[in-house]
Amino acid sequence: MEQVIFYCFAALLLFASSMVITVRNPVRAALFLILAFFTSAGIWLLLDAEFLAMTLVLVYVGAVMVLFLFVVMMLDIDLAPLQEGFTQYLPLGIFVAALITIEMIAVLGASHFGLDIVAAPIAHPEGYSNTKEIGLLLYTIYVYPFEIASVILTVAIIAAITLTLREKKSKSQDIDKQIKVQAKDRVRIVKMEAVKKQESES
């Protein structure tokens, strides 16, 4: 049963990821990428890695891809100039693709990740919590790399925010001032005496 599910997910993943690069419409490509993330989360679930699977869906499907889709939808991409020179660059493309494939086989092939080197994952006993295991590892053995990674991310956040903080010359609004505003700042009630019309003017 588990094998059937695995092969279903694997086939779906391969289909989705090949559609990402072949489909013409960029929005559809992004949607297929979402499907690919979702199916790989399914495969991770089969490995009892529920924390990783859920986080993949939460972070990539739920946040990153939404923003990605946001940008792709707003761009009105004209496909014709992108496809120009396809045949011209084809040999180079094939060469690079072949190179990458060979590299991947050399690094990830059976000589490094075969069953005799990396054992097949064993079925975990009931009550095994992947979340707890990851938490223990992250905060004990790998605590320094974890902390360093978080510091780097914080630096990146601050950098990204400072990039957007330019001097505002356009009609930007200061919301704090807007909220503090009260009726007496905006409306001035002027009391005036009624004046009788002068007859002599006419």
The 10 Å Cβ neighbour count of residue 53 is 20
Token pair 């957007």 is at which residue?
A: 164
User: In this complex, which beta carbon is closest to other proteins, that of residue 13 or of residue 34?
Assistant: 34
User: In this complex, which beta carbon is closest to other proteins, that of residue 115 or of residue 161?
Assistant: 161
The minimum distance between CB 176 and other proteins, in angstroms, equals 9
Structure tokens at 89: 């660059």
User: In this complex, which beta carbon is closest to other proteins, that of residue 98 or of residue 153?
Assistant: 153
The minimum distance between CB 14 and other proteins, in angstroms, equals 21
User: In this complex, which beta carbon is closest to other proteins, that of residue 6 or of residue 26?
Assistant: 26
The minimum distance between CB 184 and other proteins, in angstroms, equals 22
The answer to whether 24 and 79 have CB atoms below 8 angstroms apart is yes
The answer to whether 54 and 44 have CB atoms below 8 angstroms apart is no
The minimum distance between CB 76 and other proteins, in angstroms, equals 12
The answer to whether 13 and 33 have CB atoms below 8 angstroms apart is no
The answer to whether 41 and 53 have CB atoms below 8 angstroms apart is yes
Please give the Cα distance from 79 to 25 (Å, whole number).
9
Residues making contact with other proteins (CB under 8 A): 27-28, 31, 34, 50-51, 54-55, 57-58, 61-63, 66-67, 69-70, 73-74, 129-132, 173, 175
The minimum distance between CB 61 and other proteins, in angstroms, equals 6
Residue 34: which of 8, 64, 74, 11 has the closest Cα?
Answer: 64
Please give the Cα distance from 181 to 186 (Å, whole number).
8
User: In this complex, which beta carbon is closest to other proteins, that of residue 89 or of residue 142?
Assistant: 142
